[in-house]
Structure 1
């Protein structure tokens, strides 16, 4: 494990209370540590080799480890040197049904001082499907519960009515998970909690970022965009009266395959959504 300098990422925990003292990581500070959550859900439409598509919906357990570099990463410019505080992360996702590995990923979170744009945070990620991405964004702080907004998982097929059968797998109810709006499942997870505040971190490849895919992915089920929102929540412990940190996220990758019905020159867009609610260990 990388050694952390004493003047960064210092956090006091007194009587269950969490308070940031000194950190060069700003809104990313509370991400540092190991998070575990067994309330994850993966929803993805994939090509069916017999034609059409399959909708896969899987509950999962995730372990996410985020480690700070002890010094910023220098970017040498023509006028100044940009010093970029850097967090390394790795995660693994296992099925709640049979324990099999569903996903592995590594990457970085970057805080971007002196950035010549409106974006102050970046996330870089690499996955063994053959995809790597750069997503940029920013952060805010909310008093009380996080501002979790609805999303839709339904495929985007172009104007007009969707052909019969394409929404059927989405409309079949599933216990414990809202397949149409997964963010409703996140709200259910915190419905009985007292959340004091939330740090909200959002990033998107539409913000001067992008995705690179291996040729097989590009040809068969091209991933074209990615966006994610992380909510770091300070939650009151009903037993001790203190607080603990909780992490929720919702992220959507757009996958394209099967020609659109009204314009075969374009492909249907299929939202691939992941959500989870996690607690720092």
Structure 2
């Protein structure tokens, strides 16, 4: 007698089982800012500083069934999660700037390795990059604490800020997109703090991510095709996403998603921060 196959059936999602990710499913839309120093061999220049005001959409949907990870040192664990598509365009021209697909997973606490509950993000982009990042979620009363982020390029060999004005001048002289304040070039997170001034945020779920900070072992990393490695190697990523519950006297209650993300691009012996920030509203 043939043993029948056992299949995992999909079912209507119980969003509560997503825990810290439970508010993500749905469509989020908003605007932000993109700062990237990219190689410019084409124009015989060391690099080009691109500054863009952005418009963005992220769509999240629950994964249809629990995902089993089979254990040998401990019993099996099951992931819940969401898959997503992110699209970013230039706010002035409508031209595409970024397209990304991936998943967020809620990983339960484990004994082998000894680790608390974490969230994991898996992402791919069509430049030929794939990343795996991890962090420990938390919920806090009130609004988020958004620290400054620094766009200053760093000399790879010394770990110290670049001092050559050849590389710093574009950060002072590049024309700003409409609506982007001058201080956002050195600290793009100012756009996030400006966006929530005067808002009443009653609760924030914090989702930190890193490709380098280990929790219970290795954290993940970035894999790139050889062309990317040779020309603008993406070496690490850090990010924080904030899911915010907002009370507004006119709009009532709504959900807001803010994030800041820094990817380090390495070329010319320099580590260049590529920074994206955005404030999105759940539709």
CA shift digits 1:63-103 (9 cap, x unpaired) = 10000012211111124111000210111111111111111
The farther-off stretch of 245-254 and 92-101 is 92-101
Question: Match of 2:216?
Answer: none
Cα deviation, 1:213-272, whole Å, max 9, x if unaligned, reads 0000000000000011000010112215x31100000000000000xxxxxxxx210000
Correspondence for 1:19? none
Residue 196 of structure 2 corresponds to: 190
Gaps of 5+ in 2: 1-8, 214-218
Q: 3-state DSSP class of the match of 1:25?
A: helix
Report the counterpart of residue 40 of structure 1 in structure 2.
32
Task: State the match for 1:144 in structure 2.
Answer: 142
Q: Is the 8 A contact 1:119 1:136 kept in 2?
A: no
Q: Which whole-Å CA distance do the structure 2 matches of 1:199 and 1:161 have between them? A: 35
Equivalent in the alignment of 1:99: 94
212 and 188 in structure 1: CA distance in 2 versus 1, 3 angstrom threshold: same
The reply to whether residue 67 of structure 1 matches residue 61 of structure 2 is yes
Give me the CA root mean square deviation. 1.8
Q: Using the TM superposition, give the Cα deviation of residue 118 of structure 1 relative to its aligned residue in structure 2, in angstroms.
A: 4.4
- The structure whose residues are more often helix, as a share, is 2
The runs of 5 or more residues in structure 1 that have no matched partner are 10-22, 259-266
Mapping of 1:51-200 within 5 angstroms? 51-78=45-72, 79-115=74-110, 116=113, 117-118=115-116, 120-157=118-155, 158=158, 159=160, 162-172=163-173, 174=176, 175-177=179-181, 178-200=184-206
SS in 2 for 1:27: helix
CA distance in 1, matches of 2:249, 2:232: 46
Q: Please list the CA deviations of residues 27-57 of structure 1 after superposition, one character each: whole Å capped at 9, or x if unmatched.
A: 11111111011x2111000111103111001
User: Matches of 2:180 and 2:199 in 1, distance apart?
Assistant: 18
Q: Secondary structure at the match of 2:154?
A: coil
Aligned residues: 256
Kindly state the Cα deviation for residue 5 of structure 1 after the two structures are TM-superposed.
3.6
Partner secondary structure for residue 151 of structure 1? coil
Secondary structure, aligned partner of 1:162 = coil
Does 113-122 or 190-199 show the bigger shift?
113-122
Per the alignment, in what secondary structure is the counterpart of residue 61 of structure 1?
strand
Q: CA deviation at 1:4?
A: 7.4
Q: CA deviation at 1:206?
A: 0.5
Partners of 1:184 and 1:171 lie apart in 2 by 17
| CA 114–194 in structure 1, closer or farther in 2 if over 3 Å, else same | closer
Aligned to 1:8: 14
Instruction: Give the match for residue 278 of structure 2.
Output: 276
Contact 2:53 2:180 in 1 (8 A): no
Larger displacement relative to structure 2 (175-184 or 194-203):
175-184
Which residue number in structure 2 is paired with residue 218 of structure 1?
229
2:209 corresponds to 1:203: yes
Shift of 1:176: 2.1
Residues of 2 paired with 1:76 and 1:4: CA distance? 19
Equivalents in 2 of 1:160, 1:34: separation in Å? 39
Q: Deviations over 1:116-147 (max 9, x none)?
A: 23461100000000000000001112211101
**For the structure 1 residues 36 and 4, does the alpha-carbon distance in structure 2 shift closer, same or farther, using more than 3 Å as the test?**
farther
Cα distance between partner residues in 2 of 1:188 and 1:126: 30
